[in-house]
Amino acid sequence: MSSPAIAGAEPEGQDGRVVRYTVTTGQEATVGLYYLATEPDSQASYDADPNAYLRNERVTIVPGAPWVFETTLNDTSWAYVSAGAAARYTGSATPRCEIAIDGEVVVEQAGDTSALCALKPW
């Protein structure tokens, strides 16, 4: 059994809260991930260059080995992760995402081909 991969980004000089994104699938699937890795200084900063704060990756996830990313955010309302898998799989990839803050799961969603977890409207 493989162990979960954990990646992280911790901005220097911040004493914020630990935010953990976890994505799982119901079967082996290549999943497109889009998530907030670092907190912008303001909405205006984000609007000017969202790619400075968001990451976009394609990863293969298998049952029992979730994708996990941790970051530190002062304003946890910025927390965001989405996962989408192609519908070409036999059966359903059934991606599931969750956001935990300081170890407590605050939102989780699942779908047949995609899932979106966020703490504010995007």
pLDDT in tens, 3-54: 344 555 544 445 899 999 999 998 898 999 999 999 999 999 999 999 999 9
pLDDT tens-digit map of 28-41: 989 999 999 999 99
Query: CB of 113 within 8 A of CB of 95?
Result: yes
pLDDT tier, 110 (very low <50, low <70, confident <90, very high otherwise):
very high
| Residue of 96, 122, 100, 108 whose CA lies nearest to 21 | 100
pTM of the model: 0.84
Residue-wise pLDDT tens digits, 59-82: 999 999 999 999 999 999 999 999
CB of 113 within 8 A of CB of 84?
A: yes
d(CA 101, CA 81): 13
